[in-house]
Structure formats: structure tokens, C-alpha cells
Amino acid sequence: MASRGRLWPIPRRAWQLMSALLANSYWPGFASGTIYQGAGKNVCVPFLNCYSCPGAVGSCPVGSFQFFLAGPGQTVSLYVLGTVTGVGALVGRLVCGWLCPFGLLQEVMARPCARRVKLPGILLTLKYAVLVLTVSLPVLAIGAYGTASPYFCKYLCPAGTLEAGVLLALGNPAIRGMLGSLFLFKLAILVLLLILMVFVYRPFCRTVCPLGAFYSFFNAFSLWRLEWDHGRCTGCHSCRSACPLGLAVDRTPNHPECIRCLDCTRVCPSGALQFTSGIKREESVVFGRDVR
């Protein structure tokens, strides 16, 4: 695996586009305003991608998790939890930077100046509150029928509003007739975020996304992670200038906010930053050689 800003010979933007196209490859759904119901929906993708998107061929992990948690059985889906835990343990937030379609939209919308905007720390912690209060809360709020509401998907998720609500409404007149005040509320959230995307780099990922919050816990100890070699570092701070999130990469190469775009490894003139596996790093220590 190459460490200079690419995974294999394919650029990051190509990975993002391929992921978005493959995850939403049911083309008849876009034309008819219907939802794919085939066997693929039993598969949980590791990134945010609404189940009800007309082209979606898989299930969103957040939506799937809430479906089981808010249902009559109030159960935790070990399959969904195991999927995102396994992905997080393997690569941390790499999924956010390389595979998430909604992350791609935010990057395409961003003006160059958006990278220079720093968000207050309290806004960066908001996504953890969203994770707890809107994704995990259904188990605590059981209604009259023994079920609860999937709060994040129902009241907040802008990806679902765009991919499902807007696209389905455009292709299906019957659905347009059923839209009410809740949809308008979610549409307002989406519009606000779309405006922010122009001036702030990835505002949804950094402040609201519960899946990004979950993956951030794994950055520090995932199998594949950034390694900083103090001996090679020249102190030029090129990595800091290249980081779209404004992180001090040479101080905290596996910061929870890092989406592992690997731009820092691409600009580092001395190769002090490498995206490599913990296994290789341990081997280099044991056998006294640099395997990177």
C-alpha cells in the first residue's frame, strides 16, 4: 500500500466516486422514484448512505442500527455493530475520507478558503452528543406500541433528506403529496449544511455525523494508522499546511478528527509521515530494521 497520499495507484477522489457509484448503482430507482428491495439490502455498507435512496443497493449502518434498536425487540444488531467496529479497528476514519458519498459532496462544495476555517472545540464535540442522544437513545424511549423513534434518521440526517427525501420526491408524485412539516424541517437543516459546506470544510463530518464520531475512537489504535518518525522530521510543517482540517499532524498523527486523506504524507519532503500497519511498525522495532 502506497503512503504518499494514495491507496494503491488510484487517487482518493477516484475512490470516493467509485464508492458513491457502487453504493447507489440501482439506476432504475432514480428513474421511477422507487427503492431497491433486493438481497443487497441485507449488506451493511461501512459509511453513511441512506437505505431509502432510490439507487442504494445496501443498508446504512446508522439506519440499520436504529431500525433494530427502535423496533419491538429493542435489540442491538451485532452484525451492524461488528461491521463498523471491525472497519474502525482496521483503518479508523479512513472510511470518512475515502469512501463516504456525503463526505465527497462536502469536499466538492467547499471553496479553497474553507480549509482555513477553524471550528470551536465545542462544535467538534457535538457529534458525540448526537451519537449518544439520537442514535442510542431509542432504547430508553419506548412508545405506546413498544417501539421508539429512530431519532437521527427521522429528525436530523441530512444525507437521508438529500438521498431519499429529495430524490424520491422528485421521481414519485405520490411521495411528494405526503411530505409535511417534518420534511420541511429536515430540508432546512440540509440547506443550512449545504451553505456551510461552501465556507467550512466538511461541517457535517466534523460536528454532527455520529458514524464519524464512532470511528474517531479507533484512530489512535487501528491496525492501519499514521506513523510519524521524529528522526526524519525536518520541522518544516508542510504536513500542517496540507491538512484540510488544520491539524498539527506531526504532534498528533492519529488525531480523532483526522479523516486520513493522507495529504500530509504526500507533501512530507523527508518521508517522516507514513500510513502503515501497526504490525509492520512492531516488526521494525523487533528486528531492528525500517520496513516502511
DSSP 186-200: HHHHHHHHHHHHHHS
Distance (Å, rounded) from C-alpha 231 to C-alpha 270? 10
**What would the grid cell of residue 209 be?**
455525523
Q: With a threshold of 0.85, does the pTM exceed it?
A: yes
Cβ atoms of 42 and 59 closer than 8 Å: yes
Non-local CB neighbours of 104 within 8 Å, separated by 6+ positions: 13, 16, 17, 19, 20
pLDDT value at 292 more than 70: no
Question: Who has greater pLDDT, 73 or 275?
Answer: 275
Q: Is residue 284 pLDDT above 60, yes or no?
A: no
For the stretch 81-113, pLDDT in tens is: 999 999 999 999 999 999 999 999 999 999 999
Q: Which parts of the chain fold into alpha helices (H)?
A: 12-23, 27-32, 61-70, 78-91, 94-98, 101-109, 121-124, 126-130, 151, 158-160, 167-171, 173-176, 181-199, 203-207, 210-216, 238-242, 263-267, 278-287
Specify the pLDDT at position 26: 96
CA dist., res. 105 & res. 203, Å (int): 11
Tell whether the model's pLDDT for residue 280 goes beyond 60.
no
Between CA 250 and CA 225 the distance in angstroms is: 13
Q: What is the pLDDT of residue 89?
A: 98
Question: Which DSSP string do the residues of 223-269 spell out, in sequence order?
Answer: SEEEEE-TTT--S--HHHHH-TT---TTT-TT-TT-----HHHHH-T
For 38-70, write each residue's pLDDT tens digit: 999 999 999 999 999 999 999 999 999 999 888
Confidence of residue 285 (pLDDT cuts 50, 70, 90): very low
CB atoms within 10 A of CB 246: 15
Find the mean pLDDT for residues 143-158.
Answer: 80
Alpha-carbon gap, residue 68 to 151, rounded angstroms: 13
Instruction: Give the model's confidence band at 8: pLDDT under 50 very low, under 70 low, under 90 confident, else very high.
Output: low
Distance of CA 135 to CAs 152, 157, 288, Å? 6, 11, 46
